[in-house]
């Protein structure tokens, strides 16, 4: 297990105060990890600055082949990394393996994109000059990532950043630094030059971020996490007018029309709610179900949720692991109690589970009042509030009545209706008759306060590029 931090290709210990990592399934400590100071973060930025110059000058094909080697090494170690994800995050081993496959795919996709960063050449309308447009790398990118996808949220940023010719300094989440350190170690083994990928965990995120965002070489911040923290980092980035990529919180509506294939809608609802133990930004947060089928949907959904086995992610058959920490269980329970006191009813008997570990049983709530906090806040846990609707217009207005706009889901057998409704959902992504939509080849990201920019697809790499225009005569 790698517990030191990575700066300029060397593994370092950091201060005497270390970061304790818990197994959320038991609440017991499994490791302690080096905690970097602001000075360590600056050293990482210095190293990144030097490494980036050489990397940017390398042939795109050379970068591409190293990224391809990263893809292969991650797959070769997929079982080991999946185990590490389950150990520190708690998600079921199958979900962890899925996360790792998704992470590796970003390296394959961006190995392919590295040789296709194209600019353009045009003639000015007045005919007096040529307009040359090129896309050089940004430089050094600071990355701050959440605990819910310890590998994927790093891969989704690092792969396109390296493909475009940048260097990176990463601050992984305090709850899950082990996967980040192991992935970085494997990237170095795959041939990523020293200093290009630096990982500096810390106990003091604010001071770390101040030091990094003030560093002269850092030109971009790529953040994934809550909207609340994203807003603070945006303010801080304004001081040096840094380029930003922001992947923030969600509050996804999951819409079921009466003409939906009910079996598919229930299966999709379970997927959209429960993947990765329901701790996902794309998790369905509000289930709007057309009145004629609300009773049937709710009963079948509650049966499916009630049949989910909750437990240690290593146990076969478990499909819902622990929540990340005790605070997460308390937050979920507060939201559920708020909904119940507003008139909601529990359809199956879920709730918090006594320790050890931080568990919450899958729960379906019916008759939820749209004014309950559970419909405006991210639940980030296995609870599904169901709201009946009669009128499509009113439902769409309610679905859009949130500052978030990450994703929505629509279930209907009428594709034209599905498309019409999708176009009116104020979200960066919509799934029609699908409960999971993430794909490295598709642009992932949110509208409104769910984010700025996109990760993945062919536009993903351009997020880590500048645009330069050269006016030329010849």
In sign, the C-alpha dihedral spanning 339, 320, 402, 407 is negative
Is 248 or 302 the residue whose CB approaches ligand NAD more closely? 248
* Least Å from the CB of residue 318 to ligand NAD: 22
CA distance 270 to 435: 8
Locate the DSSP E strands across 43-186. Answer: 120-123, 130-134, 140-144, 167-171
Asked whether 211 and 42 are in contact (CB, 8 A), the reply is yes
Q: What is the DSSP track for 387-430?
A: EEES-HHHHHHHHT-SSEESEEEEE-S-HHHHHHHHHHS-SSEE
Total of chain residues touching ligand NAD, rule CB under 6 A: 28
Q: What is the DSSP track for 187-235?
A: HHHTTPPTTSEEE---S-HHHHHHHHHTSTTEEEEEEES-HHHHHHHHH
Decide if residue 311 touches ligand NAD (CB under 6 A). no
Burial 175-204 (b: 16+ CB within 10 A, else e): bbbbbbbbbbbbbbebebbebbbbbbbbbe
Question: Is 237 among the residues known to form the active site?
Answer: no
Is 361 or 378 the residue whose CB approaches ligand NAD more closely? 378
Which residue, 123, 136, 122, 10, is CA-closest to 462? 136
* Least Å from the CB of residue 38 to ligand NAD: 12
Burial 163-173 (b: 16+ CB within 10 A, else e): bbbbbbbbbbb
* Least Å from the CB of residue 407 to ligand NAD: 9
Q: Which of 266, 378, 389, 421 binds ligand NAD (CB under 6 A)?
A: 378
Interface region with ligand NAD, contact rule CB under 6 A, candidates 73-81, 243-251, 308-316, 459-467: 243-251
Q: Catalytic pick from 105, 113, 247, 290?
A: 247
Question: Is 247 among the residues known to form the active site?
Answer: yes
Is 66 or 220 the residue whose CB approaches ligand NAD more closely? 220
Is 246 or 265 the residue whose CB approaches ligand NAD more closely? 246
Is 133 or 232 the residue whose CB approaches ligand NAD more closely? 232
The DSSP code for 138 is -
Site for ligand NAD, residues 51 to 110, rule: CB under 6 A: none
Q: Which of 37, 86, 110, 145 binds ligand NAD (CB under 6 A)?
A: 145
Interface region with ligand NAD, contact rule CB under 6 A, candidates 147-155, 181-189, 349-357, 462-470: 147-155
Q: Catalytic pick from 45, 70, 281, 320?
A: 281
Decide if residue 200 touches ligand NAD (CB under 6 A). no
Decide if residue 147 touches ligand NAD (CB under 6 A). yes
End-to-end alpha-carbon separation of the chain, Å?
59
10 Å CB burial of residue 471 (0-12, 13-18, 19+) is: exposed
Is 324 or 365 the residue whose CB approaches ligand NAD more closely? 324
Q: Is the peptide bond before 199 cis (omega within 30 degrees of 0)?
A: no
Q: In the stretch 266-295, what mask flags binding to ligand NAD with x, by CB under 6 A?
A: ---------------x--------------
Write out the catalytic residue numbers: 247, 281
Binding site for ligand NAD (CB under 6 A): 144-149, 153, 171, 173-174, 205-206, 209, 224-226, 229, 232-233, 247-250, 281, 378, 406, 446, 451
């Amino acid at each position: 297990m790698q517990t030191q931090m990575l700066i300029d290709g060397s593994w370092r210990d950091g201060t005497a105060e270390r970061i304790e990592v818990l197994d959320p399934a038991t609440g017991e400590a499994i490791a302690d990890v080096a905690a970097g100071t602001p000075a360590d973060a600056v050293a990482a930025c210095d190293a990144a600055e030097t490494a980036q110059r050489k990397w940017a000058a390398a042939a795109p094909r050379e970068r591409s082949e190293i990224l391809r080697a990263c893809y292969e090494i991650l797959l070769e170690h997929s079982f080991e990394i999946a185990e590490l994800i389950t150990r520190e995050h708690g998600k079921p081993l199958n979900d962890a393996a899925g996360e790792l496959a998704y992470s590796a795919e970003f390296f394959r996709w961006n190995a392919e994109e590295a040789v296709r960063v194209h600019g353009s050449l045009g003639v000015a309308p007045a005919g007096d000059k040529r307009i040359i447009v090129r896309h050089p790398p940004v430089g050094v990118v600071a990355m701050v990532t959440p605990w819910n996808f310890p590998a994927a949220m790093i891969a989704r940023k690092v792969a396109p950043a390296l493909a475009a010719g940048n260097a990176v300094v990463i601050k992984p989440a305090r709850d899950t630094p082990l996967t980040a350190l192991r992935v970085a170690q494997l990237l170095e083994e795959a041939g990523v030059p020293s200093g290009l990928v630096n990982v500096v965990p810390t106990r003091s995120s604010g001071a770390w971020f101040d030091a990094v965002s003030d560093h002269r070489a850092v030109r971009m911040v790529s953040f994934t996490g809550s909207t609340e923290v994203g807003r603070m980092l945006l303010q801080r980035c304004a001081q040096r007018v840094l380029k930003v990529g922001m992947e923030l919180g969600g509050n996804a509506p999951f819409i079921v029309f009466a003409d939906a294939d009910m079996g598919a809608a229930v299966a999709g609802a379970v997927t959209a709610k429960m993947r990765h133990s329901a701790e996902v930004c794309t998790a369905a947060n509000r289930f709007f179900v057309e009145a004629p089928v609300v009773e049937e949907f709710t009963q079948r959904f509650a049966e499916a949720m009630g049949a989910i086995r909750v437990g240690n992610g290593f146990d076969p058959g478990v499909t819902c692991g622990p929540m990340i920490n005790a605070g997460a269980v308390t937050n979920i329970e507060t939201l559920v109690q708020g909904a119940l006191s507003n008139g909601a009813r529990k359809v199956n008997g879920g709730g918090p589970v006594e320790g050890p570990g931080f568990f919450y049983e899958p729960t379906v709530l019916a008759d939820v009042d749209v004014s309950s906090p559970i419909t405006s806040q991210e639940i980030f846990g296995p609870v599904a509030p169901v709201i009946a609707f009669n009128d499509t217009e009113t439902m769409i207005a309610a679905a859009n009545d949130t500052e978030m706009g990450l994703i929505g889901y629509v279930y209907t057998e009428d594709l034209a209706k599905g498309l019409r409704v999708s176009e009116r959902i104020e979200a960066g992504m919509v799934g029609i008759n699908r409960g999971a939509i993430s794909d490295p080849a598709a642009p992932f990201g949110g509208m409104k306060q769910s984010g700025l920019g996109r990760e993945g697809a062919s536009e993903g790499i351009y997020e880590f590029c500048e645009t330069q225009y050269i006016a030329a005569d010849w």
